[in-house]
Amino acid sequence: RKEVEQDPGPFNVPEGATVAFNCTYSNSASQSFFWYRQDCRKEPKLLMSVYSSGNEDGRFTAQLNRASQYISLLIRDSKLSDSATYLCVVNLMDTGRRALTFGSGTRLQVQP
Amino acid sequence: GAVVSQHPSWVICKSGTSVKIECRSLDFQATTMFWYRQFPKQSLMLMATSNEGSKATYEQGVEKDKFLINHASLTLSTLTVTSAHPEDSSFYICSARFGHPNEAQHFGDGTRLSIL
């Protein structure tokens, strides 16, 4: 079983749609969680951190459920510029040796 | 603006060449930097953790003699791909974090390595 699992997509949605991505992680000792965005042939860029209390940044809302080991990202009012691959990322803190563990990413294509 | 700078962004060279990639943290000191590799349509895979002033810690399956890492200062880590072969062609990305280990990491803009 992969440590971080995501639906690879692609998700093809029209502009203005609301789209939700899901992610599960296998290690209950994971301590911090993030969503990164990666454009084609570019480096990942931090989109937002994810907290149990949930957090929102404009059109983006992230949620963490530790009991279910489940992370979500909701994008409202999709824009063409949202087209990218969204990476679910988990940090397992074990003396700092282990870095981030990435899901394989979910590709989003927003269409006009 | 960018907090991690990576150079070069693109390298094309012949098989057998050694290639050095630099990763710099800008305006902050990074005691720990990370090197990742990403093959087409795959996720980022951690290669090694680079610690300033000590030896790098390599992930299982990554040859330390093949991928030499040097973290000589708090703002610079280098990855040298020695005697590169076509199968080493990949997207290499470094990252650094500042602050608490649970904080997010920031990535360099990556180096696309193509070995002919």
A4-44, pLDDT tens digit by residue? 999 888 999 999 999 999 999 998 888 889 999 999 888 89
The count of CB pairs under 8 A between chains A and B is 55
Q: Is the pLDDT of residue B8 over 90?
A: yes
Contact A99 B110 (CB under 8 A): no
Tokens of A75: 């994008």
* Cβ separation A104–B107 shorter than 8 A: no
Structure tokens given for A103? 């899901």
Residue B28, chain A, CB below 8 Å: the answer is no
Reported as a single tens digit per residue, the pLDDT across B51-60 is 887 889 999 8
Tens digit of each residue's pLDDT (9 = 90 or more) over B66-97: 999 998 888 899 999 999 999 999 999 999 87
Positive or negative: CA dihedral B51, A4, B62, B21: negative
Average pLDDT over every residue of B110-115: 94
Q: Where are the beta strands (DSSP E) in B4-110?
A: 4-7, 10-13, 19-25, 32-38, 45-51, 57-58, 67-73, 76-81, 90-96, 106-107
Give B-chain residues touching A97 at CB under 8 angstroms. Answer: 49, 57
